[in-house]
Amino acid sequence: MAVDYKGRIPNNVDLSGDRRLQRALEHWQPRFLNWWTELGPEGYQAADVYLRTATAVDARGWASFGYVRMPDYRWGIFLAEPEQDRTIGFGDEMGKPVWPEVPGEFRAALRRLIVTQGDTEPASVEQQRRLGNSCPSLYDLRNLFQVNVEEGRHLWAMVYLLHAHFGRDGREEAEELLYRHSGDPDNPRILTTFNEPIDDWLSFFMFTYFTDRDGKYQLKSFAESAFDPLARTCSFMLTEEAHHMFVGETGIGRIVRRTLEVMQALGTDDPDAVRAQGAIDLPTLQRYINFWFSSSLDLFGSETSSNAATYFAAGLKGRPDEATFEDHLCLDTAERIAVPDGAGGVAEEEVPTRNAMNEITRGLYVKDCAIGMTRWNRTIKRAGFDAELFLPSTRFRRTIGRWAGAPVAPDGAPMADDLYRRRLPGWLPTDGDKAYIHSLMHAVTEPGKMAGWIAPPARGIDGKPVDYEYVKLH
């Protein structure tokens, strides 16, 4: 399906064939650009950034690289190729043709899901807007901006669905997406994690590792949707999302490598000694992992959810890679899930599988998160140290779901409430940790140079060397 780059809004949805929709989106476009100027990346708007832009949606060559000033980025509307005769793959409507339009009875639920997804995209750009001023290298600066422009495009993806399929309500929701702001006490973003500040690069890498990975699993669930335009738009978003998680995984991996170099040179893993050399000690990394992992777990919703059961039954939202499951109806099956027993311990509860969909998806996510941990721990072992980074228990520091507020240690052990409250601050980044991390954040903008707390990447972007001038500052 050809991509039309001639119009004001690049697209492969034949926008010029629907004048009303085109006009409505062209009306929204300057608002988006105003938002980008006010709340997008601070500084660097006039810099030439070596960015990839989507030029086709097929598996080959959808990315074209070149220097672009961010405000000139061609944010467009791209849906994956339609699958001929696609049928609904799960739930009560299984086997029936997928829907090109929203059925009236599911309008409110679908709008809510699309708005929640859409809200996260500009939120993340807002959260990260000041990071350019303290980039560890031009390579990293470019990656930050790549992530930012693509999150902006993902907002376009959701706004297109709202405008094209939800009439006046959809247009109003699209406006609201630019009025809510991350961390705004009066008008916050919808989901908790998207109101957390990201004002240092360690948090950025944690966010792209843990929170963008929630994005991967939510998008995979939507890629199964019976509402075909949603499925197709999310399939395409997933191809872009992969790079965001790459940034997180390699970012943390490079920090670990640099820390290990310092530990080896010193012959100790003593945090103070490591810090004295300007690297980030492993216990501090663990505290950041504890924070961002637990926050991201909340994004899957409650362990038992009638919302999730309804979405599955109706065909609105499936499980990630639904085809890999045997039973797509889940009518008479049950799952055993761990819940607080009310007396400080853990009990097992049997719940209908449909009500446990959030927990099933969270379980897949946790396994995926563990892959990076294994890789980093291997590096630590190879360097001759027996320290280990770990994922805290899924019951630790939850604010959503059955474990919300439960006093549980990072290793999963239930504990007395007052002891938990006293110990919790020590398991999370402390004020001292934050002050130390912030003290490391100084912009390094000479091509090929790296800040002292992070190792260089193994290779550059698009076959270019690491010392390529990824951002031309003028």
Interacting residues toward ligand BYC by CB under 6 A: 113, 116-117, 120-121, 124, 151, 191-192, 211-212, 214-215, 218, 298-302, 305, 307-308, 317, 358, 400
Nearer to ligand BYC, 143 or 259 (CB): 143
Q: Strand pairing partners for 50?
A: 67
- Closest to ligand BYC by CB, 238 or 415: 238
Nearer to ligand BYC, 275 or 362 (CB): 362
Q: Closest CB to ligand BYC among 117 and 235?
A: 117
Q: Which residue is nearest to ligand BYC (CB)?
A: 301
Integer Cα distance of 121 and 132 in angstroms: 18
CB of residue 397 to ligand BYC, shortest distance in Å: 13
The minimum distance between CB 235 and ligand BYC, in angstroms, equals 14
Q: Which is nearer to ligand BYC, 279 or 308 (CB)?
A: 308
Cβ-based nearer residue to ligand BYC, 22 or 208: 208
Distance of alpha carbon 339 from alpha carbon 276, whole angstroms: 43
CB of 211 to ligand BYC, least distance (A): 5
Q: In terms of CB distance, is 192 or 377 closer to ligand BYC?
A: 192
Residue 357 to residue 346: CA distance in whole angstroms: 20
CB of 106 to ligand BYC, least distance (A): 14
The tokens describing 41, both together, are 């990346």
In the complex with ligand BYC, the residue whose CB is nearer, 190 or 266, is 190
Q: How far is the CB of 21 from ligand BYC (least distance, A)?
A: 24
CA distances from 90 to 62, 362, 464 (A): 30, 19, 44
- Indicate the residue among 140 and 151 with the shorter CB distance to ligand BYC: 151
Find the shortest distance in angstroms from Cβ 349 to ligand BYC. Answer: 15
> In the complex, what is the shortest distance from the CB of residue 431 to ligand BYC, in angstroms, rounded to a whole number?
25
Between 154 and 287, CB nearer to ligand BYC: 154
In the block, residue with structure tokens 């630590």 = 380
Q: Considering the complex, what minimum distance in angstroms separates the CB of residue 88 from ligand BYC?
A: 18
Minimum gap (Å) between residue 85 Cβ and ligand BYC: 27
Q: How far is the CB of 155 from ligand BYC (least distance, A)?
A: 9
- Give CA torsion, residues 197, 159, 361, 195, to 10 deg: 10
What would the 3-class secondary structure string for the chain be?
A: CCCECCCCCCECCCHHHCHHHHHHHHHHHHHHHHHHHHHCCCCCCCCEEEEEEECCCCCCCCEEEEEEEHHHCCCCECCCCCCCCCECCCCCCCCCECECCCCHHHHHHHHHHHHHHHHHHHHHHHHCCCHHHHCCCHHHHHHHHHHHHHHHHHHHHHHHHHHHHCHHHHHHHHHHHHHCCCCCCCCCCCCHHHHCCCCCHHHHHHHHHHHHHHHHHHHHHHCCCCEHHHHHHHHHHHHHHHHHHHHHHHHHHHHHHHHHHHHHHHCCCCHHHHHHCCCCCHHHHHHHHHHHHHHHHHHHCCCCCHHHHHHHHHCCCCCCCHHHCCCCCCCCCEEEEEEECCCCCEEEEEEEHHHHHHHHHHHHHHHHHHHHHHHHHHHHHHCCCCCCCCCCCCCCCCCCCCCCCCCECCCCCECCHHHHHHHHHHHCCCHHHHHHHHHHCCCCCCCCCCCCCCCCCCCCCCCCCCCCCCEECC
Q: What minimum distance in Å lies between the beta carbon of 318 and ligand BYC?
A: 11
- 192 or 277, CB closer to ligand BYC? 192
